[in-house]
Amino acid sequence: MALTASGCDAPDWELSGIEQLPLPGGADLGDDPYEITAEFTDVLSLVPQSAVKVNDVAVGRVTRVNLAEDDWTARVTMRINRGVRLPADAVARLEQSSLLGEKYIQLAAPEPRPDTARPAPGARPAGAAHPVAAPAGPLTDGAHIPVERTNRNPEVEEVFGALSLLLNGGGIAQIKTITTELGRALGGNEPEARSLLRRLNTLVTSLDGNKAAITAALDGVNRLSATLATRRQSISTVLTGLSPGLKALERQRTALLTMLRSLDTLSAVAVTTVDKSKDDVIADLKALTPTLRALADSGRALPDSLQVLLTYPFTDEVLRGVRGDYLNVYLDIAAVPGTEIVPALTPPDENPPPAEDTPPAQDTPPGGNPPQGQGAAPPQGTAQGRSTTPGEGGARRSGTAPLPLPFPSAGRAG
């Protein structure tokens, strides 16, 4: 039966079957409902005139169920009261009113993700290049809900099939075996089981308290893995170069084992020797005690003695007589009056007191030379002139000058 009616004020509508007749007590669509579509992977036994609900309140009805253009999904067309406000990203679920009740479509706003907070419109999250766009407007006439935002509840047949698989396929038998074995294992071991549970609780609590450290360690391992990944070629080269060394160790394994056995024998002999000589070593150390105590009591004298011993026979006192490569000698030499000294020697005292055992100086000594007090000098090669023999007519003069040995020829006779 098909009826077609037209009028000036009423839209055209076509009655193709009795299922298009509105049921009493259905949803109030109002004077101007809007139409939306939704795609489902499986609509099961959904039929036209089924209810469309929001929060379990009927707000519309299904008008058409047909195959989508891809021939793999079902497209459901719905009419909803215009007074119902839903976001443009609403979701649709195919549900059932009771165990054997009718199918209907539940529309709802998308649930926010618990791990991320939705930023305010216009705000720019960290790292984002552009501000977050404001959410889409309300669901309007002609909107489409894709298959990604639709799902369905399991059917009663599916639940019974899974239950029959559990009952007949062995799930209960495995559970019985597990409970029986647990009972046997825990029987008589209740204190140990409680201790194990307490330790597990302590372990889990410690792990929970060190979440930050564990996370940091895992991040470090991740960075290490990334670094190793960038150096894969170097690691491969190192491993390739280790291969000859490992082969050489493999060839010398017998020699290495022999060496280790010899070391083991040597260590056993050394331990035996130490054990047998332990008493003698202790006795020797006790015998050395007085000597060591005497050395300790000597204090500073011992280092000073060692210092002198190392310089024997040339001690520090030798340095006063030895200068460089020559030996300083101090001589008293009697010179003939009139002897010239080169270089000239200046006496320490220009007017020394006359000696009691010295006769007066002669005015003119033999040979025509002036007296020693008037410019006379000691003989050549002398370091000091002194008249010590009576009758030589020279005045006593004293002076010192270092002369190297052997004596150099540095003067001439006057």
Query: Do 339 and 390 fall within a single domain?
Result: yes
Query: Do 49 and 139 fall within a single domain?
Result: yes
In the structure encoding, which two tokens stand for residue 102, read together?
Answer: 């009718």
- Residues of the domain holding 264: 249-313
Residues 6 or more apart whose Cβ sits within 8 Å of residue 26: 49, 51, 58, 61
- Considering the domain boundaries, does residue 261 fall inside one? yes
- Considering the domain boundaries, does residue 408 fall inside one? yes
Between the alpha carbon of residue 363 and those of residues 212, 356, 370, 386, 398, the distances in Å are 118, 19, 7, 18, 20
- Considering the domain boundaries, does residue 267 fall inside one? yes
Rounded-to-integer distance, Cα 127 and Cα 116, Å:
15
Query: Do 309 and 383 fall within a single domain?
Result: no
- Considering the domain boundaries, does residue 308 fall inside one? yes
On whether the CB atoms of residues 372 and 397 are closer than 8 A, the answer is: yes
58-95 burial, b if ≥16 CB within 10 A, otherwise e?
bbbbbbebeeeeeeebbbbebbbbeebebeeebbbbbb
- Considering the domain boundaries, does residue 352 fall inside one? no
In the structure encoding, which two tokens stand for residue 335, read together?
Answer: 């010179």
Query: Do 83 and 217 fall within a single domain?
Result: no
Q: Which pLDDT belongs to residue 113?
A: 62
On whether the CB atoms of residues 333 and 384 are closer than 8 A, the answer is: yes
On whether the CB atoms of residues 367 and 392 are closer than 8 A, the answer is: no
Query: Do 49 and 147 fall within a single domain?
Result: yes
3-state secondary structure of 88: coil
On whether the CB atoms of residues 375 and 303 are closer than 8 A, the answer is: no
Query: Do 198 and 259 fall within a single domain?
Result: no
- Considering the domain boundaries, does residue 400 fall inside one? yes
Identify the bridge partners of residue 74 per DSSP, sorted by sequence position: 40, 67
Classify the phi-psi angles of 334: left when phi > 0, otherwise alpha if psi is within -120 to 50, otherwise beta.
beta
Classify the phi-psi angles of 298: left when phi > 0, otherwise alpha if psi is within -120 to 50, otherwise beta.
alpha
Query: Do 253 and 330 fall within a single domain?
Result: no
Query: Do 32 and 141 fall within a single domain?
Result: yes
- Considering the domain boundaries, does residue 23 fall inside one? yes
Alpha-helix residue ranges (DSSP H) falling in 252-400: 253-276, 278-298, 301-310
- Considering the domain boundaries, does residue 357 fall inside one? no
Identify the bridge partners of residue 75 per DSSP, sorted by sequence position: 39, 66
Query: Do 382 and 256 fall within a single domain?
Result: no
pTM, two decimals, is: 0.36
CA 47 to chain centre: 66
Number of domains in the chain: 4
Rounded-to-integer distance, Cα 362 and Cα 7, Å:
183
Q: Which pLDDT belongs to residue 269?
A: 93
Rounded-to-integer distance, Cα 21 and Cα 3, Å:
12
Cβ atoms within 10 Å of 215's Cβ, excluding its own: 10
Query: Do 217 and 261 fall within a single domain?
Result: no
Query: Do 26 and 146 fall within a single domain?
Result: yes
Q: Which pLDDT belongs to residue 371?
A: 46
Question: DSSP of 158-201, one letter per residue?
Answer: HHHHHHHHHHHHTHHHHHHHHHHHHHHHHTT-HHHHHHHHHHHH
Query: Do 217 and 333 fall within a single domain?
Result: no
Helix crossing, 190-209 with 211-230: angle to 10°? 70
In the structure encoding, which two tokens stand for residue 283, read together?
Answer: 């006795």
CA 380 to chain centre: 87
pLDDT in tens, the chain (414 residues): 444 444 444 444 556 666 666 666 677 888 889 999 999 998 888 888 899 999 989 999 999 999 988 888 999 999 999 989 899 999 999 998 887 788 999 999 988 765 555 555 555 554 444 444 445 678 888 999 999 999 988 877 788 877 777 677 656 667 778 888 888 888 888 888 899 999 999 999 999 999 999 999 999 999 999 999 999 888 888 888 888 888 888 999 999 999 999 999 999 999 999 999 999 999 999 999 998 888 888 877 777 777 777 666 666 666 666 655 555 566 677 778 887 777 776 766 656 666 555 555 444 444 444 444 444 444 444 444 443 333 333 334 444 444 444 444 333 333
